[in-house]
């Protein structure tokens, strides 16, 4: 056993933060994960915050983490889709939240050949149902 019951440690360093993932064992033999965030505070040293997840609770913790990561991924995909929709020219995308329906000429018989397409003269805007 290592210093202060440490069994395994890994760290992830980002811009101004470092995350430590420590697997430890306490005096009674319980194994737990300790996640520590350490970030530099404006010239006065480091701010350090830790959470502890015990071995018995690890599956529920991981389920919550996976659920959160899934939400982040879906949200990221939606933002990318919305951003690409905003980049398209206005004429190629529908008005936000509205559907455009063009009225057809009801004066022609059903078995008559279709007339050449003309630009629609009347447009009725119907709010999109959510």
- Whose CA is closest to 21, among 9, 7, 5? 9
pTM value?
0.56
Domains, the chain, ordered by start: 3-87 (3.10.450.700)
pLDDT tens, 9-53? 999 999 889 999 999 999 899 999 999 999 988 778 889 999 999
Please provide residue 9's backbone torsions phi and psi, each rounded to the nearest 5 degrees.
-145, 140
For residue 12, the surrounding DSSP H or E stretch is strand 6-13
Query: 44-95 pLDDT, tens per residue?
Result: 888 999 999 999 999 999 999 999 999 999 999 999 888 888 876 655 555 5
Given this model, what pLDDT does residue 107 score? Answer: 59
């Amino acid at each position: 056993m290592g210093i202060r019951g440490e069994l395994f440690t890994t760290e992830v360093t980002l811009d101004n933060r470092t995350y430590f993932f420590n697997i430890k064992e306490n005096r009674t033999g319980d194994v737990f994960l300790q996640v520590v965030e350490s970030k530099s505070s404006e010239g006065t040293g480091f701010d350090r915050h830790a959470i502890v997840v015990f071995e018995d609770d690890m599956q529920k913790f991981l389920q919550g983490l996976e659920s959160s990561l899934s939400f982040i991924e879906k949200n990221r995909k939606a933002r990318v889709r919305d951003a690409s929709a905003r980049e398209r020219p206005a004429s190629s995308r529908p008005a936000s939240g509205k559907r455009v329906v063009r009225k057809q000429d009801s004066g022609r018989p059903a078995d008559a050949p279709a007339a050449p397409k003309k630009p629609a003269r009347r447009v009725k805007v119907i709010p999109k149902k959510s």
